[in-house]
């Protein structure tokens, strides 16, 4: 009897390989051949699951998004019921910052994907929706509910993430800058 193949598992295996290649060598190194070699599968298998590089990239971005959501959910659940808005916001933002090895690897991949999507508008609708939801949620936590301030908080977190990934800021410097801004917003 033939073995049952878990197609989602294989797609995830390939996406994980793509993310390792992107995190270690940059998106310019991502090709069907390189990803197949990293995953330990044939290029034909990669082509079977992903017809184009864009399909492969979009799936991998979804995997990064799912991992980030899982990190956020776990961190927020650890707060217990009804956390204070400032604590909830800080927890959300710090769980998205690249402060450990796993989140740094995901952060490098996410940064590479942002550059990739900047020149491929067809791949950005999900990112726009995610950003709009995030701004709305952050605004709901702010004392004044301002979407403009929420967008600024999101931009602050993303900027701090860039500085962490680039090595310009230590974890302590980034968290201090974040706390300073949150103190101003919740004063």
Q: For 25-36, what is each residue's pLDDT tens digit?
A: 877 778 888 889
Asked if the structure places residue 40 within a domain, the reply is: yes
pLDDT at 12: 83
Asked, for residue 72, whether it belongs to a domain, the answer is yes
1 in a structural domain? no
Mean pLDDT of the residues in the chain: 88
CATH number at residue 49: 1.10.357.10
124 pLDDT higher than 80: no
Residue-number span of the structural domain to which 99 is assigned: 7-185
pTM, 2 dp: 0.82
Give, in order, the Cα–Cα distances in Å from 65 to each of 69, 103, 126, 151, 160: 6, 11, 10, 19, 18
Asked if the structure places residue 94 within a domain, the reply is: yes
Under the banding of pLDDT at 50, 70 and 90, the label for residue 15 is confident
2 pLDDT higher than 60: no
Q: Report the domain count for the chain.
A: 1
Q: Angle at the Cα of 145 (from 163 to 76), degrees rounded to 5?
A: 60
d(CA 19, CA 24): 8
What is the rounded distance in angstroms from the CA atom of residue 14 to the CA atom of residue 10?
Answer: 6
Domain presence at residue 111: yes
Confidence of residue 137 (pLDDT cuts 50, 70, 90): very high
How far, rounded to the nearest angstrom, does the alpha carbon of residue 32 sit from its chain's CA centroid? 22
2 lies in a domain? Answer: no
Q: State which of 4-18, 54-68, 112-126, 131-145 shows the largest mean pLDDT.
A: 131-145
Provide mean pLDDT across the span 52-81: 86
Task: State the pLDDT confidence band at 22, using cuts at 50, 70 and 90.
Answer: confident
């Amino acid at each position: 009897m033939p073995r049952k193949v878990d197609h989602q598992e294989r797609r995830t295996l390939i996406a994980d390989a793509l993310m390792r290649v992107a995190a270690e060598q940059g998106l310019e190194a991502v090709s069907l051949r390189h990803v197949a070699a990293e995953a330990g599968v044939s290029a034909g298998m990669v082509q079977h699951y992903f017809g184009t590089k864009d399909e492969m990239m979009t799936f991998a971005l979804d995997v990064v998004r799912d991992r980030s959501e899982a990190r956020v959910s776990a961190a927020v659940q650890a707060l217990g019921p009804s956390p204070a808005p400032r604590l909830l916001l800080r927890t959300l933002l710090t769980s998205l910052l690249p402060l450990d090895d796993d989140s740094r690897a995901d952060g490098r991949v996410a940064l590479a994907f942002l550059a990739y999507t900047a020149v491929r508008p067809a791949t950005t609708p999900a990112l726009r929706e995610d950003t709009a939801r995030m701004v709305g949620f952050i605004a709901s936590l702010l004392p004044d509910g301002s979407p403009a301030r929420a967008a600024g908080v999101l931009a602050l977190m993303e900027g701090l993430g860039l500085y962490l990934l680039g090595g310009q800021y230590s974890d302590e410097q980034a968290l201090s800058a974040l706390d300073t801004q949150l103190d101003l917003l919740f004063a």
